[in-house]
């Protein structure tokens, strides 16, 4: 299906990001984040991606998950075989993407389920104990007004901090390469995505 006709999830920018709840950069869990997520649950709607991709009045909510293991983070490089040409050869510490509608789930569960879908599409996480569950949590929100692309997306930032012994492998080997590196090594990676840089500078390293 063409991305233009992909159904995605978001909310009106003026309602979500009024002056009392503005954000630029990473904002950790707290009253502001709680208020924005609460507003999202009240005004979430579906939209055709082709109609809102360049519309700053509509914020597309993006689950964006950091996979860490102690003082290391999983760093990926997006190869030229990937669908999104704007991301070719960029480095990223976030697994994420647009949300697709899921019927009969709460808005927060919708974000969570889409986060897991993106994880399962890009990477494989294995635990020493087969029945071990992902230790995931929402750690904050991220917004940047640096580029027209940034202006229409708001990141819901998750973190999965894996225990020692757990492993991560790339599923989409034709589109990605990845490995665990130190936070500082990730911060110096060439062509680092804006959101990844913000997460490193304002959360992992700060």
**How does residue 1 score in pLDDT terms, banded at 50, 70 and 90?**
very low
Average pLDDT of the chain, as a whole number: 88
**How does residue 36 score in pLDDT terms, banded at 50, 70 and 90?**
very high
93 φ, ψ (degrees, to nearest 5) = -110, 5
**How does residue 78 score in pLDDT terms, banded at 50, 70 and 90?**
confident
Which of 165, 161, 206 is CA-nearest to residue 187? 206
Write the pLDDT tens digit of every residue in 94-104.
999 888 888 77
Q: Which residue has the higher pLDDT, 149 or 33?
A: 33
Tokens read off for 100: 């697709």
130's CB contacts (< 8 A; 6+ apart) are none
């Amino acid at each position: 299906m063409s991305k233009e006709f992909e159904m995605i999830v978001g909310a009106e920018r003026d309602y979500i990001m009024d002056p009392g709840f503005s954000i630029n950069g990473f904002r950790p869990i707290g009253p502001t984040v709680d208020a924005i997520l609460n507003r999202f649950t009240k005004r979430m709607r579906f939209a055709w991606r082709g109609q809102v991709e360049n519309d700053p009045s509509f914020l597309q909510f993006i689950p964006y998950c950091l996979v860490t293991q102690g003082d290391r983070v999983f760093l990926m490089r997006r190869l030229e075989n990937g669908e999104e040409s704007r991301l070719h050869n960029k480095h990223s510490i976030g697994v994420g993407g647009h949300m697709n509608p899921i019927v009969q789930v709460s808005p927060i569960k919708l974000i969570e389920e889409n986060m897991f879908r993106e994880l399962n599409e890009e990477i494989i996480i294995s635990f020493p104990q087969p029945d071990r569950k992902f230790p995931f949590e929402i750690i904050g929100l991220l917004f940047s007004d640096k580029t027209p692309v940034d202006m229409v997306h708001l990141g819901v930032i998750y973190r999965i901090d894996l225990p020692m012994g757990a492993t991560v492998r790339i599923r989409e080997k034709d589109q990605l390469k990845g490995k665990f590196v130190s936070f500082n090594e990730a911060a110096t990676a060439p062509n680092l995505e804006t959101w990844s840089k913000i997460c490193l500078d304002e959360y992992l390293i700060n």
